[in-house]
Amino acid sequence: MARKDSTFLGWPVLRQLATGDLLGRGASVTSRRTREVTPRTSTSDRVVQSVCPYCAVGCGQKVFVKDEKVVQIEGDPDSPVSRGRLCPKGAASEQLVNSPSRQTHVLYRPPGGTQWQRLDRDTAIDMIAERYLESRRNTWQELDSKGRRVRRTMGIASLGGATLDNEENYLMKKLYTASGAIQIENQARI
């Protein structure tokens, strides 16, 4: 092909006639690059069924993975909810996963600080656990102002988004409640 393309034999009209693609809508007008590429979806190592993380319609997604990287996310035609469709957000969700600005390191800003610092995750979780227990101690209420037993802390609060999995919400509510934190809220109230 390469040789032919570079001579007059590669002229479009001749190609159309030669290949029977008379209207020039088929193989005769595809470029070499087009001929050489294959869809990422066909070369992926595996396809995993998922659900779109944006609105609550719950559209089915097919996640295409190659070399342990997500290479494409498409609508799942099997889904009775979405019948294979995705909106612009769902269709862009591959960028959500592979965004170059996505943070993959723990960052820390000390009181009064003007810059982020790096902190390893293990240390960060340990520091948070310490602070949690300390704030709980500082603000513990065994009784309220009327002498009624409340056994709680009003010094720790939480606000979750509604893209949390049910299992995640469950562990959060369980842990917070057992520790006495009650100001636990979610996007569902907003």
Partner 1 sequence: MANADCVVIQGSNMAECHPVGFQWVSEAKARGARVIHIDPRFTRTSAIADTHVPVRAGTDVVLLGAIINHVLSNDLYFHDYVVAYTNAATLVNEDFVDTEDLDGVFSGYDPRTGTYDNASWAYEARADTDGEIQEPAGDDEPESRTRARAAGQELGSYGAPLEHARVVRDETLQHPRTVFQILKRHYRRYTPQMVRDVCGIPEEQFYEVARAITDNSGRERTTCFAYALGWTQHSLGAQFIRAAAILQLLMGNMGRPGGGIMALRGHASIQGSTDIPTLFNLLPGYLPMPVAGEHDTLEDYLSQIASPLQKGFWTESPAYTASLLKAWFGDAATPDNDFCFDYLPRLTGAHGTYQTTMAMLDGEVEGYFVVGQNPAVGSAHARMQRLALGHLKWLVVRDLQLIETATFWKDSPEIATGEVRTEDIQTEVFFLPAATHVEKSGTFTQTQRMLQWRHQAVRPPGEAQSELDFFYELGRRMRDKLAGSTDERDRPLLDLTWDYPQDEHGEVDGEAVLREINGSHLTGEKAGELLSSFTQMRADGSTSGGCWIYTGVFAGGVNRSANRVPRHEQDEVAAQWGWAWPMNRRILYNRASADPQGRPWSERKKYVWWDEEAGRWVGKDVPDFPVDRDPSFRPAPDDGGPAALAGDDPFIMQADGKGWLFAPKGMVDGPLPTHYEAQESPVDNPLYAQQRNPSRLIFPRKDNLWSPSGEEPGSDVYPYVFTTYRLTEHHTAGGMSRWLPYLSELQPEMFCEVSPELAQEVGLENGGWATIISARSAIEARVLVTDRVRPLTIAGRTLHQIGLPYHWGIGRDAVVEGDSANDLLGVVLDPNVHIQESKVASCDIRPGRRPRGEELLRLVSEYQSRAGTTAATAHERVDEVPPEMARRRAAAGAPGETGSTSATADTEGTG
Residue ranges in 122-141 that form contacts with partner 1 under rule CB under 8 A: 124-133, 135, 138-140
- Side by side, the strands of the sheet bearing 46-51 are 46-51, 60-66, 69-75
Tell me how far CA of residue 118 lies from CA of 52, 102, 113, 123, in angstroms: 32, 15, 13, 11
Token duo for residue 83 = 């019948």
51 sits near partner 1 (criterion: CB under 8 A): yes
By CB under 8 A, the count of residues binding partner 1 is: 118
Show contacts with partner 1 in window 64-93 (CB under 8 A). Answer: 65, 68-70, 73, 77-83, 85-90, 92-93
| Best CA proximity match to 63, nearest among 36, 81, 101, 90 | 90
Nearest CB to partner 1, comparing residues 5 and 185: 185
Token duo for residue 106 = 């723990």
Question: In this structure, what is the dihedral angle of CA atoms 114, 157, 164, 117, given to the nearest 10 degrees?
Answer: 20
Which of 8, 25, 58, 74 is close enough to bind partner 1 by CB under 8 A?
Answer: 58
| Best CA proximity match to 61, nearest among 14, 29, 93, 16 | 93
Contact mark string toward partner 1, 90..119, x via CB under 8 A: x-xx-xxx-x-xxxxxxxxxxxxxx-x--x
Nearest CB to partner 1, comparing residues 27 and 175: 175
Nearest CB to partner 1, comparing residues 28 and 82: 82
41 sits near partner 1 (criterion: CB under 8 A): no
